[in-house]
Amino acid sequence: MSPDIHPCLTCGVCCQNYRVEFSVYELQSMGGTVPDHLAHEVPGKGNRARMNGTEKHPVRCVALTELPHLGEGCIGCGIYEQRSRPCRDFPFASYGCHDTRAKFSLPQLSDEEVERWAETATA
Ligand code: SF4
Ligand code: SF4
């Protein structure tokens, strides 16, 4: 991995691990940012939406996108600036991040990587 590439851009496993649910008011049609065609209303909940692809196993959010222009194997959110609250609230190098990387047998983030990239956006 290039040391100049944010570790998230060669990872993406949190977008393949969690059910991503958020308020329907985050959908574009309701005044929010998330494109409606990438999500669906959660049955029986009324006011909740869920990213397509995260409702069943194997989980893979439909917005997760290959980014070959950044390098071989690079991957990232195709709606980064429009992503929902739970995606914005999932921090790099958090417990969930470390735990998910371990679940997918990815190497542990080094202290140097965490220090260098913790405050840097991935896109
Ligand atoms: S937040 Fe963690 S698990 Fe998610 S893409 Fe970044 S490094 Fe991978
Ligand atoms: S919307 Fe983007 S950040 Fe959120 S789960 Fe999907 S690909 Fe990941």
As a whole number, mean pLDDT of residues 8-15 equals 97
pLDDT at 2 over 80: no
Q: Is the CB of 61 under 6 A from ligand 2?
A: yes
For 70, residues 6+ apart whose C-beta sits below 8 A from its C-beta are 5, 9, 76
Instruction: Report phi then psi at 16, rounded to 5.
Output: -125, 20
Q: Which residue's C-alpha comes closest to atom 4 of ligand 1?
A: 14
Identify the pLDDT of residue 58: 97
- Percent of all residues in the chain with a pLDDT value above 70, rounded to a whole number: 96
Neighbours of 77 (CB within 10 A): 20
CA distance 33 to 72: 29
CB 88 within 8 A of CB 82: no
Report CA 112 to chain centroid distance, whole Å: 22
Task: State pLDDT tens for residues 52-101.
Answer: 999 999 999 999 999 999 999 999 999 999 999 999 999 999 999 999 99
Report the alpha-carbon distance of residue 59 to residue 9 in Å, rounded.
18
The protein residue whose alpha carbon is closest to atom 1 in ligand 1 is 92
Beta-bridge partners for 76 = 65
Residue with the nearest Cα to atom 5 of ligand 2? 15
Give yes or no for residue 97 CB within 6 A of ligand 1. yes
Structure pTM? 0.94
